[in-house]
Amino acid sequence: MGKYHGNATTVLKPKTTQEVSDIVKWCHEKRIGIVPQGGNTGLVGGSVPVQDEVIISLANMSQVRSFDPISGILIADAGCILQSLTDYIAPHHHVMPIDLGAKGSCQIGGNVATNAGGLRLLRYGSLHGSVLGLEVVLPDGTILDQLTSLRKDNTGYDLKQLFIGAEGTLGIITGVSILTPPSPQASNNVIFALPHFDNVLPLYQSVKRQLSEILSAFEFIDRTAYDLAVKHGQGRALSDEDVEGAQCFVLVETSGGRREHDEEKLTTLLETLLEADKPLINTGVLAQSPAQFSSLWALREGVTEAVSKEGKAYKYDISVPLSTFKECVDVTREHLRSKGLMREDAVKHVVGYGHVGDGNLHLNVVADTYSSEIQDALEPFIYELVASHRGSVSAEHGIGAMKTHALHYSKSAVSITWMKKIKELFDPRGIMNPGKVLE
Ligand code: FAD
Ligand code: 2HG
Ligand code: ZN
């Protein structure tokens, strides 16, 4: 993003858990700050030093430790790249329970540390459910071995949950045990062009009802996001006829057990939607080949990259009621307009897209530069808007360095006090990713 900058002089790339432990022990003794770094794809500055902390990169810890094709349990070093794990288990007919646009660079340890959501959460749930065990180096160098592969284990406090989403503030994850589901026998997707945003919710209801168990993703992009994706070469554009009059788009994916059965369900869905008295959609484009399947996904997954190519992005990753997605985008745009900032040399676009099925909107403001004028117009405005809907200021990207001051919009004072107590307990010297998550 080119937004966060530190002044680290040292990057260490340990190869084993013991090496991580030795480094951390040394830093603990000398009170040297540490930033754990995975694929460095995070969007809230969590993997970037605030000052001159030592960076501990997990890039050299990238071995699969074991995979059991019967249970689907994978145990891997934290530095394994998500895509390489997907490739590793594919011949055994399993898939990773998490998928996201950064899959070619992000690491499983980074995914766990951020509790990344992504495109499959609707189907497989959050990492709090699929991670079975972790190996973690604590801030004094102690190795906490909880790398179990048990589905059921109610032996007191479930400590691993604390590290899922802690963004490296409580320790360095060095190993991950994760439950991988069997690959679907058939996957398909369709993109719907909608005349109004108001149709998204009823469409979601119909799609859920009709596709039921084979629905695996329901993703939303507004017209601006679609246009930017196409402009910057993400996926293949739909025909002019298909996009005419569309205010937004919804990408639906199915993953099921039998191709003919799934195709029939999808075709029936499309027919019912198009033949309705008041159709919710203008049109639907059904993928006809694996290439088209990928291309439709690229239109959605490529929005982040397209936005970065277009300008500097101010990113807000919020949980708000589904019915307010469009209002949040429109109100923000109007607010910027009222401040005189909606102009070519300031804010170019206000874009909305995200994971409808999870109530997670990505609100991206694309500008010419990062400036305090735009920043001050956006914050606390957006956070107050989110709080007014009792939403979350971080649905899935985390707090990092970006939102430490905004935590209180979504967490009560009591929650923050107890989070600070936990941090103090694990890391009394405050060396583990200082300046992140908590102020
Ligand atoms: P990094 O960016 O290196 O680090 C992220 C945080 O985790 C930092 O605080 C870091 O200190 C900590 N960390 C990293 N590794 C470890 C470790 N081993 N132990 C302890 N702490 C560690 N996020 C979503 O939730 N859903 C999405 O759909 C999604 N899509 C994305 C698409 C794109 C194109 C991009 C660029 C990002 C996207 N993200 C998404 C952001 C997401 O948070 C990251 O991509 C990913 O989970 C971070 O993994 P990473 O290995 O790059 O971690
Ligand atoms: C996505 O869903 C990611 O595409 C990234 O979470 C969102 O860039 C963003 O704001
Ligand atoms: Zn997302």
pLDDT tens for each residue of 156-190: 999 999 999 999 999 999 999 999 999 999 999 99
Confidence (pLDDT) at 1: 85
**Do residues 378 and 365 touch, judged by C-beta distance below 8 A?**
yes
ipTM surpasses 0.90: yes
Claim to verify: residue 117 and residue 134 sit in the same structural domain: yes
Question: Could you tell me the CATH number of the domain that includes residue 370?
Answer: 3.30.70.2740
Claim to verify: residue 350 and residue 274 sit in the same structural domain: no
Strands 131-137 and 73-77: unpaired
Confidence (pLDDT) at 169: 99
Distance 268 CA to ligand 1 centre (A): 38
Print the domain residue range for 373.
311-398
Residue 327 has pLDDT above 90, yes or no: yes
> Helix or strand or coil: residue 240?
helix
Give the confidence band of 357 by pLDDT, cuts at 50, 70, 90.
confident
Claim to verify: residue 153 and residue 293 sit in the same structural domain: no
Residue 201 has pLDDT above 90, yes or no: yes
Is 39 touching ligand 1 by the criterion CB < 6 Å? yes
Q: Which tens digits make up the pLDDT trace of 28-80?
A: 999 999 999 999 999 999 999 999 999 999 999 999 999 999 999 999 999 99
Query: Which residues 6+ apart lie within 8 Å of 324 measured at CB?
Result: 389
Whether residue 130 is contained in a domain is answered as yes
Q: At which of 150, 167, 183 does a domain end?
A: 183
Whether residue 403 is contained in a domain is answered as no
Beta bridge partners of 254: 188, 215
Distance 155 CA to ligand 3 centre (A): 34
Claim to verify: residue 96 and residue 32 sit in the same structural domain: yes
| Phi, psi (rounded to 5 degrees) for 424 | -60, -40
| Phi, psi (rounded to 5 degrees) for 364 | -115, 130
Confidence (pLDDT) at 269: 96
Q: Which tens digits make up the pLDDT trace of 278-318?
A: 999 999 999 999 999 999 999 999 999 999 999 999 999 99
Distance 304 CA to ligand 2 centre (A): 6
Distance 370 CA to ligand 2 centre (A): 19
Question: Could you tell me the CATH number of the domain that includes residue 195?
Answer: 3.30.70.2190
Looking from the CA of residue 355, the nearest atom of ligand 2 is: 2
Whether residue 81 is contained in a domain is answered as yes
Q: Which of 122, 221, 362 to mutate to test the pocket of ligand 2 (most atoms within 8 A of CB)?
A: 362
Q: Which tens digits make up the pLDDT trace of 122-163?
A: 999 999 999 999 999 999 999 999 999 999 999 999 999 999
Strands across the sheet containing 64-68: 64-68, 73-77, 172-179, 131-137, 143-146
Claim to verify: residue 35 and residue 174 sit in the same structural domain: yes
Give the confidence band of 382 by pLDDT, cuts at 50, 70, 90.
very high
**Mean pLDDT value of segment 412-422:** 98
Q: Which ligand is nearest to the CA of 317?
A: 2
How many domains are there within the chain? 3
**Mean pLDDT value of segment 92-106:** 97
Q: At which of 247, 271, 303 does a domain end?
A: 303
Distance 116 CA to ligand 1 centre (A): 7
Distance 408 CA to ligand 2 centre (A): 23
Residue 198 has pLDDT above 90, yes or no: yes
Claim to verify: residue 273 and residue 352 sit in the same structural domain: no
Whether residue 231 is contained in a domain is answered as yes
**Residue reference for tokens 């963004």:** 167
Q: Which of 3, 224, 304 to mutate to test the pocket of ligand 2 (most atoms within 8 A of CB)?
A: 304
DSSP assignment of 145-184 equals EE----S---SS--THHHHTTSTTSS-EEEEEEEE-PBPP
Claim to verify: residue 327 and residue 346 sit in the same structural domain: yes
Question: Average model confidence (pLDDT) for the chain?
Answer: 97
Whether residue 421 is contained in a domain is answered as no
Looking from the CA of residue 396, the nearest atom of ligand 2 is: 6
Q: At which of 155, 183, 211 does a domain end?
A: 183
Whether residue 417 is contained in a domain is answered as no
Claim to verify: residue 135 and residue 157 sit in the same structural domain: yes
Claim to verify: residue 145 and residue 74 sit in the same structural domain: yes
Claim to verify: residue 145 and residue 208 sit in the same structural domain: no
Whether residue 68 is contained in a domain is answered as yes
Claim to verify: residue 141 and residue 176 sit in the same structural domain: yes
Is 173 touching ligand 1 by the criterion CB < 6 Å? yes
Closest residue by Cα to atom 53, ligand 1, is 110
Nearest partner of 80 among 56, 103, 99, judged by Cα: 103
Alpha-carbon torsion 206, 212, 214, 217, what sign?
positive
Q: Which tens digits make up the pLDDT trace of 391-412?
A: 999 999 999 999 999 999 999 9
Claim to verify: residue 62 and residue 170 sit in the same structural domain: yes
Whether residue 107 is contained in a domain is answered as yes
